[in-house]
Amino acid sequence: MKKIKNIIISLVCMFFYNALMSQDTVTTSAAINWMSIEEAVRLQQNEPRKIFMDIYTDWCGWCRRMDAQTFSHPVIAKYLNEKYYAVKFNAEQKDSVVFQGVTFFNQNPEGNRSSHDLAVALLQGRMGYPSVVFIDEESKVITNIPGYKTPNDLEPILNFILNNLYISGNWEEFIANFQSEIE
């Protein structure tokens, strides 16, 4: 009887684990027009926009959750597609990347969890995932923000950066008056 009880408990745990994992691995490629950093910089030349860069890793559970819950939110996806160039960058990718005239590499592409030099530069060596980086219309880094963000967390940040309020604005005053489009 005890053996049957353990089997049932194991099956129930596996069911909940699988349900949780399948929820986290939903892709959002249809919702957000993700592109490479090179493509975003090229597009900036004809239509200047800020770049929103999601820096993630394949093994990061919070990154998958941000994909599934934040980047799939219709308000966030619409805002990123219409107002920014959205870049998704794997911080451990093996391919070289050219940004601001410099070629960046993963110095140890066969290594376990080896960070790409572009991710290290953009995150200023603080390698936490997920992280987002905001880049201005001239391809200069505005700021990076580490950690998981819900749609409600990310929406005001997107607006604050887009409208250049980070230059002279007051975040506390802005957030006190911010009108969210998220219900």
Q: What is the value of pTM for the model shown?
A: 0.81
Residue where the block lists tokens 């966030």: 76
Q: Is residue 2 part of a domain?
A: no
- Residue 3's pLDDT is what? 55
CA neighbor of 84 nearest in space, from 53, 129, 123:
53
User: Quick check: 147 pLDDT over 50?
Assistant: yes
Q: Is residue 12 part of a domain?
A: no
- Residue 183's pLDDT is what? 77
Q: Is residue 153 part of a domain?
A: yes
Q: Is residue 13 part of a domain?
A: no
Q: Is residue 131 part of a domain?
A: yes
pLDDT bracket for residue 2 (50, 70, 90): low
Proportion of the chain above pLDDT 90, given as a percent: 77
pLDDT bracket for residue 69 (50, 70, 90): very high
DSSP string, 27-75: --TTTS--B-HHHHHHHHHHS--EEEEEEE-TT-HHHHHIIIIITTSHH
User: Quick check: 164 pLDDT over 90?
Assistant: yes
CATH of the domain at 127: 3.40.30.10
pLDDT in tens, 8-48: 444 333 443 344 344 443 343 448 999 999 999 999 999 99
Gap between the Cα atoms of 139 and 150, Å rounded: 26
DSSP string, the chain: -HHHHHHHHHHHHHHHHHHHHHHHT---TTTS--B-HHHHHHHHHHS--EEEEEEE-TT-HHHHHIIIIITTSHHHHHHHHHHEEEEEEETT--S-EEETTEEE-BSSTTSTTPPBHHHHHHTTT---SSEEEEE-TTS-EEEEEES---HHHHHHHHHHHHTTHHHH--HHHHHHH---S--
What is the number of structural domains in the chain?
1
What's CA 64's distance to the chain center, in Å?
A: 10
Q: Is residue 38 part of a domain?
A: yes
Q: Which domain holds residue 69?
A: 26-177
Q: Is residue 9 part of a domain?
A: no
Q: Is residue 6 part of a domain?
A: no
Gap between the Cα atoms of 92 and 108, Å rounded: 9
